[in-house]
Every structure is written in structure tokens, then in C-alpha cells.
């Protein structure tokens, strides 16, 4: 079966990573990819792996006649058996044009927990509303990586009858404990003996709630017996971000925090952290939580999206926008970290949970089974 994936773009994001891993792990069917915009991070990797890629070069949040015509040519030249769309703009454009081209099997992909109207761009909110209106007629099925994301979209007006939940999957050969990386990075960061390393990989965005994290760190810094350093990484997480620098200054923790910016070496970072913290107020199925766990790094995270289900009893899940609870959970983890046998058991439990429930092989089998089921039903 020929599967054509249509995605808004291929930059460094959760849906983009899931698409790439799926194409690498699912070998039963043939795959091709159309990006509405450019190659981003994953385009060259897909080409290197031999996955056909077409980039439509449409401006962000806008359509172009040239891009739409190019997509129609792809559908005509190599008609797919199924079109798998990823994210709002691709769901709308890829779904509608595929249906108009006579393709019966169209699957949408939802990879966030819904939009914050105060933050989301107008173009994205418009695409979301249009998708809700046509969700009963265009997609044969809607795949969500998150139970909560599906519920939020249904409550926002999407069809309630055609959803499938497929959690993201992770390659445990890529995300694994790496002692050499841990030692190298901790030396580079000048981590002192006995210093607890708190890491957080999250882009600069209101949903990630860095204010919540900064407030929790301020409470931790008041404890002299608890030396720590916090490593922040992600797009927009740099000293040049004056809003972030001002936030850290307001809470008096700038000297406790190192800002790394975006990183392609997430697995190495996770291995170097003692714990990974995600302080978000809104999530669906955050990759960084499962990636940290796959590397044997326990997580402290807020109870949003499917985080509670991902973490289970391997880490600590606390209410969102509650820095007191967040700081207490981090403190409890730091105290347990001093008990080597207990900590090693927790680390192994983290990796075992990802291996059993969130492997890339499991995700690939679930998508393959869905496509085959839809094809058999006609």
C-alpha cells in the first residue's frame, strides 16, 4: 500500500519527529512525504533514507496557487492508496485536495491538545475551525497521539465518531543511557560534586510555562543544603531572549540556570540530567517526557495532556501552575537521588515503561494496522 504523508512543515517538533520515526520504522508499506512549506530539519534525513519528499514552499500560514498545483501534480503522478495528514493546515489542505482528487482514504493527525485563542495565530485558528466543520466528511479516521487531545477537539466541535489513539513511539537504540555523554556534558557545564542537575527541554512559548519553573527554582534556591544547576534547552532558550532573562532575574535564579538554545543532541542532554522537568500548562503527548524516560532519566511534570499516563509511577506528576508543588516534587527526587539503589530502580523503571508501552515499533504496528483496516473496509 502506498502511503502519502502530508505535513505542515518538517522543522523540529513533536509531530515532525513522529512522522520521521514512523517512516523509518514502518516497512510494510511504501512512504512518501509532502511538506506544505520547506525541508526543515527532517527533510534531508528523509531524503537520505530514500523517502520521496516534495516541498511545496508555501508561506507560513498561507496558501499559494503554485503550491496547490504542485500538490495536485503529486496526487496525479503517484496516486496514493491512503493519505496520512499531520497537523491542522495539512489536515485541511491535504484532506480536501485528496478528496477532490478521488482518494477515498484520508486520515488526519492531531498532535496538540487544542489551541489557546490568546496565543495561537489567526491562520492556525482558522484552519482548526474549518477542520472541525468538515471533520465528519473529509477524514475517514482521525488519529490523535493523546486521549486528552481527542476529548478537547471533540468538545470544540470535531466529529466524535472516527477517532483512533496512537501514542508516539521512540527508538530505544537512539534514546538510551549514555554515561560518556553524561560525563562530557557535566564537565562542560562545570557541574560540581554533589550538585543536582535539573534539565528542561522546551521551546520558549506560553504553553511551556517557564514562569512556573522559574518560581519553583526560586523556592529551591532558598535551601542552602540543596545545591543545583538547571539546564534549559530548546528554540528561543538563549541569553539573547530578553524576556526569559528578565524572568530569571525577577525570580533571582539567573545564576542557577544555563541556557543552551536548540539542540539536536537531546538524547545526550537527557543522559546528563539527573531529572527532567516539564512545567507546562498545556500539552498533548510531549515527546521530551518519554525521551527522558527512555534515557533512564526520571521526570517531574505537570498533570496536563497525557503526561500522567506516560509517567505512571516512574516519576512525579503535579498540578499545573503550582510552583510550590513543583518545587516539592523536585526536592523529593533530589533526596531520593542520594539513595543509589532506589534511584537505579527508578531509572530502570522509566526505561522499561517506554520499552513496553511507547516503542517506535509499537507505534508503527498501530499505524499499519489502522491503514490496513481502513483499506479492507473500503
For 56, 137, 216, 240, 292, the CA distances from 328, given in Å and listed in that order, are 48, 48, 8, 30, 20
Residues in CB range of 242: below 8 A, 6 or more apart: none
Higher per-residue pLDDT: 13 or 155? 155
pLDDT in tens, 239-273: 999 999 999 999 999 999 999 999 989 999 999 99
Q: Looking at residues 227-238, what average pLDDT do you find?
A: 96
Domain with residues 179-357, CATH architecture: 3-Layer(aba) Sandwich (3.40)
Q: Looking at residues 197-203, what average pLDDT do you find?
A: 97
pLDDT in tens, 64-103: 999 999 999 999 998 999 999 999 999 999 999 999 999 9
Start-to-end C-alpha separation, the chain? 13
The pLDDT value recorded for residue 224 is: 67
The pLDDT value recorded for residue 60 is: 83
Domain with residues 2-169+359-377, CATH architecture: 3-Layer(aba) Sandwich (3.40)
Domain ranges of the chain: 2-169+359-377, 179-357
Of all residues in the chain, the percent with pLDDT exceeding 70 is 99
Measure the CA–CA gap between 123 and 359, rounded to whole angstroms. 34
Measure the CA–CA gap between 361 and 252, rounded to whole angstroms. 45
Amino acid at each position: 500500500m502506498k502511503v502519502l504523508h502530508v505535513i505542515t512543515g518538517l522543522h523540529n517538533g513533536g509531530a515532525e519527529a513522529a512522522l520521521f520515526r514512523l517512516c523509518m520504522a514502518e516497512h510494510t508499506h511504501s512512504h512518501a512525504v509532502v511538506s506544505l512549506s520547506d525541508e526543515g530539519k527532517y527533510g534531508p534525513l528523509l531524503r537520505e533514507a530514500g523517502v520521496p519528499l516534495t516541498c511545496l514552499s508555501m508561506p507560513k500560514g498561507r496558501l499559494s496557487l503554485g503550491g496547490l498545483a504542485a500538490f495536485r501534480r503529486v496526487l496525479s503522478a503517484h496516486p496514493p492508496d491512503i493519505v496520512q495528514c499531520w497537523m491542522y493546515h495539512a489536515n485541511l489542505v491535504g484532506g480536501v485536495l485528496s478528496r477532490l482528487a478521488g482518494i477515498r482514504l484520508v486520515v488526519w493527525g492531531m498532535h496538540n491538545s487544542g489551541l489557546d485563542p490568546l496565543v495561537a495565530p489567526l491562520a492556525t485558528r482558522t484552519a482548526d475551525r474549518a477542520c472541525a466543520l468538515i471533520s465528519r466528511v473529509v477524514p475517514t479516521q482521525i488519529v490523535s497521539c493523546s486521549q486528552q487531545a481527542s476529548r478537547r477537539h471533540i468538545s470544540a466541535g470535531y466529529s466524535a465518531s472516527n477517532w483512533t489513539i496512537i501514542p508516539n513511539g521512540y527508538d530505544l537504540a537512539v534514546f538510551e543511557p549514555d554515561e560518556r555523554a553524561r560525563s562530557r556534558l557535566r564537565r562542560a557545564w562545570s557541574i560540581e560534586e554533589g550538585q543536582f542537575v535539573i534539565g528542561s527541554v522546551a521551546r520558549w512559548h506560553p504553553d511551556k510555562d517557564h514562569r512556573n519553573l522559574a518560581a519553583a527554582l526560586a523556592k529551591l534556591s532558598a535551601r542552602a543544603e540543596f545545591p543545583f544547576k538547571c539546564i534549559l534547552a530548546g528554540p528561543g532558550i538563549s541569553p539573547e531572549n530578553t524576556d526569559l532573562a528578565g524572568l530569571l532575574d525577577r525570580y533571582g535564579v539567573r545564576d542557577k540556570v544555563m541556557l543552551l538554545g536548540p539542540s539536536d543532541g537531546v538524547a545526550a542532554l537527557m543522559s546528563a540530567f539527573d531529572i527532567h522537568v516539564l512545567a507546562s500548562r498545556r500539552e498533548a503527548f510531549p515527546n521530551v517526557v518519554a525521551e527522558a524516560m527512555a534515557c533512564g532519566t526520571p521526570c517531574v511534570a505537570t498533570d496536563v495532556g497525557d503526561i500522567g499516563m506516560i509517567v505512571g509511577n516512574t516519576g512525579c506528576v503535579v498540578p499545573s501552575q503550582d510552583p510550590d508543588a513543583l518545587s516539592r516534587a523536585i526536592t523529593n527526587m533530589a533526596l531520593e537521588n542520594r539513595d543509589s539503589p532506589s534511584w537505579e530502580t527508578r531509572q530502570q523503571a522509566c526505561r522499561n515503561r517506554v520499552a513496553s508501552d511507547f516503542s517506535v515499533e509499537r507505534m508503527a504496528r498501530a499505524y499499519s494496522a489502522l491503514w490496513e483496516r481502513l483499506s479492507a473496509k473500503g
